[in-house]
């Protein structure tokens, strides 16, 4: 199976690196600056699941350089998506399917409108990773990727991809109800990223302060209400399950949005919290805690220098 990974940042670099490490046919589509870094230093992963140093990474700066591809994994921030769509359109026209690993839900509609419903599979990642100043991928916690068909025609390819990835040092899970998994991740990340970023605290410090913990709980509850209104039924114990899960995360765990804020990088607040507000407005659902987080974080969306 021929796989193209768009983006060699924390998420794309981690999963693509694990695939390369296992000998799979992977090409990274990256910007010239990242390509130059990978040429000189290789793809470096530091993780409690095992470190990796991969040299001679196959790369392309333009989609036209990729002769053939079965699956395009999109692992970029939401604010880069429109640019990526134009870059990969030629690959989709040649028969490739798209597996997005972005946060939120709005990107699925955008991709389907641009590339066609049959071309867009369901995908979501559960991984805590960041790039350090040298371009190394630092990863802690789970390293899971969930995939599933959004259209019946995609089921065979999803199962083939799931089988192919069993050899890689990561977890790939085929999910029959991938829409539920996408929403569960969205609900978690809206709370996790929102509260850690607004409070500028790692998650264990959030839980250690009761009023801040209460905000985290409220955002999870509001996201569950929003999912239910959108006809996605969460398990009854969803909120308590998330609390159990975050208590087990390694000390120092925080969201990529909080890390991006600390580095002065753009934030995905519009696609995550803004997206929730747009959907809530259409469905007549009140989500006051999410609205407050959006208002607190929004001024920093494009700020280039902030204090963590």
**Pairing of the two strands 43-47 and 97-100:** unpaired
Contact 123, 73 (CB under 8 A): yes
Q: Is the pLDDT of residue 186 over 50?
A: yes
Residue-averaged pLDDT of the chain = 96
- Answering whether pTM is above 0.85, one says yes
What are the residue ranges of CATH 3.40.50.720 in the chain? 2-175
- pLDDT tens column, 38-89: 999 999 999 999 999 999 999 999 999 999 999 999 999 999 999 999 999 9
Query: Phi and psi (nearest 5°) for 142?
Result: -65, 160
Residue whose C-alpha is closest to residue 222's, from 287, 296, 295, 291: 287
Least confident segment among 100-109, 247-256, 279-288? 247-256
Model pLDDT, residue 305: 45
C-alpha torsion sign, points 165, 166, 172, 174: positive
Q: Calculate mean pLDDT across residues 244-264.
A: 93
pLDDT of residue 104: 96
The DSSP-derived string for 49-103 is T--EEE-S--EESSGGG----SEEEE-S-GGGHHHHHHHHHHHHHTT-EEEE--S
Rg, C-alpha atoms of the chain: 19
For the stretch 92-102, pLDDT in tens is 999 999 999 99
pLDDT value of position 250: 87
Has residue 229 got a pLDDT over 80? yes
Q: What is the pLDDT of residue 238?
A: 98
Catalytic residue ranges:
185
Question: From CA 60, how far away is CA 31, in angstroms rounded?
Answer: 8
Average pLDDT over residues 15-32: 97
User: Which stretch of DSSP H or E encloses residue 108?
Assistant: helix 106-115
Instruction: CATH number for 2-175: choose from 1.25.40.10, 3.20.20.80, 3.40.1360.10, 3.40.50.720.
Output: 3.40.50.720
Q: Which fold has domain 180-300?
A: 1.10.1040
> Worst-scoring range by mean pLDDT, 21-35, 42-56, 247-261?
247-261
121-170: per-residue pLDDT in tens? 999 999 989 999 899 999 988 999 999 999 999 999 999 999 999 999 99
Query: What is the reported pLDDT for 308?
Result: 41
Dump pLDDT digits (tens) for 200-226. Answer: 999 999 999 999 999 999 999 999 999
As annotated, the residues of the chain forming the CATH 1.10.1040.10 domain(s) are 180-300
């Amino acid at each position: 199976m021929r796989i193209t990974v768009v983006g060699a940042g924390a998420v794309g670099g981690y999963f693509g690196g694990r695939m390369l490490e296992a000998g799979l046919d992977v090409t990274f589509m990256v910007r010239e600056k990242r390509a130059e870094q990978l040429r000189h230093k290789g793809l470096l992963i530091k993780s409690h699941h095992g470190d990796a140093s991969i040299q001679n990474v196959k790369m392309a700066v333009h989609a036209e350089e990729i002769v053939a591809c079965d699956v395009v994994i999109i692992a970029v921030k939401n604010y880069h998506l429109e640019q990526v769509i134009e870059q990969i359109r030629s690959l989709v026209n040649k028969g490739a399917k798209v597996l997005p690993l972005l946060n939120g839900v709005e990107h699925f509609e955008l991709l389907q409108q641009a590339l066609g419903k049959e071309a867009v599979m369901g995908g979501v990642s559960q991984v805590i990773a960041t790039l350090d100043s040298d371009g190394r991928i630092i990863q802690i916690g789970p390293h899971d990727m969930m995939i599933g068909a959004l259209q019946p025609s995609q089921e065979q390819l999803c199962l083939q991809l799931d089988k192919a990835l069993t050899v890689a040092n990561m977890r790939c899970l085929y999910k029959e109800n991938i829409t539920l998994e996408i929403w569960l991740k969205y609900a978690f990340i809206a709370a996790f990223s929102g509260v850690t970023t607004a409070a500028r605290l790692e998650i264990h410090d959030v839980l250690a302060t009761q009023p801040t913990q209460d905000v985290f709980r409220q955002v999870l509850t509001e996201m569950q209400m929003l999912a239910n209104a959108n006809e996605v039924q969460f398990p009854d114990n969803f909120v308590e399950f998330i609390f159990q899960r975050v208590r087990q995360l390694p000390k120092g765990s925080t969201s990529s949005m909080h890390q991006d804020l600390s580095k002065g990088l753009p934030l995905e607040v519009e696609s995550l919290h803004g997206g929730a507000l747009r959907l809530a407005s259409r469905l007549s659902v009140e989500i006051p805690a999410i609205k407050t987080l959006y208002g607190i974080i929004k001024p920093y969306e494009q700020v280039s220098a902030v204090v963590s």
